Each structure stands twice: as C-alpha cells, then as structure tokens.
Amino acid sequence: MTPASLIAFARDCRAMAATEFALLLPLLLVLFFGVVEGSDALTKSRRVTLAANTLADLAAQETELLESAADSLFVGVEEIIDVDGATMDIRLVSVIFDDTDGDGTPDNPVVHWSYDNGGGEPYAAGAVYNNLPNPALLDVDTSVVVAEINYPYTSSLTHYFISSVTFDRIATRWPRRSLRVQLCSTPGNCTN
C-alpha cells in the first residue's frame, strides 16, 4: 500500500455515520425502553394510589357496608388499576382504638372488622392493627376505614429482563355518616 492510498483511506468518511449509529444503537434502545417502561410503571403506581384513595373514600361514606357492595367496590378498584389478569390483594379494614384498661384513653389500634377481595377476613376482629400510618388519627369514640392494596406490577415489554415490582398502598378515611362503618353480610346482620 502506498502512502497516498493510506491517506485516502483515513480521510474517507462515507461509513462513519453508520459505524457511529451501530455503536449508539444499543444505548438508544435501552433509553427508549427505559422511558417507556418507567412511564408505564409510574402510571400503574399512580392508579394504585388513586384506587386505594377511592376505595377508602367510598367505603367511609357508608353507615353499613354490605359484603356484596364491598365486592363491587373491589371490582371497581380493579377497573381503575386495569389489572390485565394480574392477581392483587385488596383489603378494607375498620380500625378502632381498644381501651383495654378502661381508663378512657386509647391503648392500641385494633381491627373492628376486615374484608378482602377473596371474601375472607384478612385480620381477626380485635387483633392489634400495626399498619395504621398515624395512630393519632383515632380517639376512643371514632374509627377509621383503611384500604390496603398490594399490586404486583410486571412489565409488559421487558418482563423477561426485569422482575416484577410490588406497589403497596394504604389509604385512610374517617367515616362520614357515623362514628363507625359496620360491615354486614346481609342487611341487618352487621358487626357491632
């Protein structure tokens, strides 16, 4: 090879753009899918938060909540989140203060009643409830309705590479029309 042909080869820029593109393509794809997946995860996280707040708010508007009405609320929560067949845990809990020593001051937040989207009782009545964000929300005569949602988010695009992320949300509301919302299996057959 002559020195002139080496200089001509070094000055040839025809394939430089293709080479730079080939080097940057993996980085651009990672950025693209990262933005898409990040925005989808953020949207699901916001929907879970909205659903927990909506569930607590709607349940707190009742004086007596039928289990069938709670089941309908759970279906609505799934519609808000748009679960796409994913299984998630949804719980409604009424929390009261227990005055175990009878001195008129609250001792522990305890479960008044609880109900989940499987039709079960996730917390036994009278059990100490430790998930209350702020126990100062309660006094001896009142209660608070707590909505808990546990949603395992799995990416639709990159679920082969990224494991699922679980969104846990808790929302609380004071009952609006009574001191305690009662859970009823049938009308008139309610908690105390």
What is the per-residue pLDDT across 67-82, written as a single tens digit (0 to 9) for each?
Answer: 999 999 999 999 999 8
Q: How far apart are CA 188 and CA 96, in angstroms?
A: 21
135 pLDDT above the threshold of 90: no
Q: Is residue 3 part of a domain?
A: no
Could you count the other beta carbons within 10 Å of the beta carbon of residue 136?
Answer: 8
Q: Is residue 1 part of a domain?
A: no
Model confidence band, residue 138 (pLDDT cutoffs 50, 70, 90): confident
**CA torsion through residues 44, 46, 48, 51, sign:** negative
Q: Is residue 182 part of a domain?
A: yes
Look at residue 100 in the predicted model and tell me its pLDDT. Answer: 67
Q: Helix, strand, coil % (nearest 5) of the chain?
A: 40, 25, 35
Q: Is residue 9 part of a domain?
A: no
State how many domains the chain has. 1
3-class DSSP state of 92: strand
Q: Is residue 173 part of a domain?
A: yes
For 69-181, strand residue ranges (E) read 89-98, 108-116, 143-153, 165-173
Look at residue 134 in the predicted model and tell me its pLDDT. Answer: 82
Residue 16 vs residue 114, higher pLDDT: 114
Model confidence band, residue 180 (pLDDT cutoffs 50, 70, 90): very high
For β-strands 108-116 and 89-98, DSSP reports them as antiparallel
| Token reading at 184 | 């009823």
Domain range for residue 160? 15-190
Look at residue 164 in the predicted model and tell me its pLDDT. Answer: 84
For β-strands 182-186 and 64-66, DSSP reports them as parallel
Q: What is the mean pLDDT of residues 165-183?
A: 93
Look at residue 106 in the predicted model and tell me its pLDDT. Answer: 63
Look at residue 105 in the predicted model and tell me its pLDDT. Answer: 65
pTM for the model stands at 0.81
pLDDT, tens digit (0-9, with 9 covering 90-100), for 79-134: 999 877 778 999 999 999 877 666 766 678 999 999 999 988 999 998 999 988 88
Q: Is residue 5 part of a domain?
A: no
Q: Is residue 58 part of a domain?
A: yes
Residue 151 vs residue 107, higher pLDDT: 151
